[in-house]
Amino acid sequence: MEDCSVDWSVWQGEMPATLMFIVRDGEVLLIEKLRGIGMGKINGPGGKIDPGETPLECVIRECQEELHITPIKPVKMGELWFAMSDIPDIHCHVFTATEFEGTPTATEEAVPIWTKIEDIPWDKMWEDDAHWLPQMLEGQKFLGRFLFEGERMQWRDVQLEDAGVSGWLIS
Ligand SMILES: Nc1[nH]c(=O)nc2c1ncn2[C@H]1C[C@H](O)[C@@H](COP(=O)(O)OP(=O)(O)OP(=O)(O)O)O1
């Protein structure tokens, strides 16, 4: 992979966002995203952080809005830093949970899809997902940094907490 044109030491994502992956009995709750960034793709529920909202508050609200469920005790597992070409750069906080209240319900924003972990449809997801989601689902915390040109990933770097990175990784 070529050198990255982004100076990550000064990079600041203009758009804070969240993602949630609820895991239960070897399955993960994905959505078909019906609107917004990544419309038509398969992803976890999530979205932009509202002004004054914490990442945790946002990810709970987005699960309620998109699927009518409330995740219980979400755990922050990592961050995704997306340097984008055609939309503002995204700083995404990624959570997992094993419990939730409510019944996943299709809304105008999303269709819920329980998916066996071995059947995750990588070709229908953002290109970066295959480089951090499997590790996260095995319990590893991470920082993933990606450069996109449109919807194509041009550069990637994924660091796992197990690799001895500490302090700056996630909070
Ligand atoms: N490369 C990428 N890989 C990935 O897995 N998720 C990405 C991604 N780029 C963006 N996302 C996700 C993160 C976050 O959940 C979502 C942010 O955009 P959204 O348009 O979904 O926000 P909202 O649901 O707040 O939208 P609106 O309500 O339509 O304004 O897109």
Distance 25 CA to ligand 1 centre (A): 26
Mean pLDDT of the chain: 94
Closest residue CA from atom 8 of ligand 1? 126
Of the CATH numbers 3.40.50.300, 3.30.160.100, 3.90.79.10, 3.30.300.30, which one belongs to the domain with range 15-162?
3.90.79.10
pLDDT at 61: 98
Compute the distance between CA of residue 158 and CA of residue 17 in angstroms, rounded to an integer: 18
* pLDDT band (50, 70, 90) for residue 99: very high
* Buried-exposed string 17-44: b where 16+ CB fall within 10 A, e elsewhere: bbbbbbeeeeebbbbbbeeebeeebbbb
What is residue 157's three-state secondary structure?
strand
Tokens of 24: 């239960």
Could you report the predicted ipTM of this complex, rounded to two decimals? 0.96
Q: Residue ranges of the domains in the chain?
A: 15-162
**Model confidence pLDDT, tens digit, residues 42-79:** 999 999 999 999 999 999 999 999 999 999 999 999 99
Q: What is the DSSP string of 85-117?
A: SSS--EEEEEEEESEEES-----SSEEEEEEEG
Tokens of 103: 């019944």
Say which residues have a Cβ less than 8 Å from residue 113's Cβ, sequence separation at least 6: 29, 30, 31, 32, 42
* pLDDT band (50, 70, 90) for residue 1: low
pTM of the model: 0.95
Does ligand 1 have an atom closer than 6 angstroms to the CB of 90?
A: yes
Does ligand 1 have an atom closer than 6 angstroms to the CB of 48?
A: yes
**Best CA proximity match to 32, nearest among 146, 165, 124:** 124
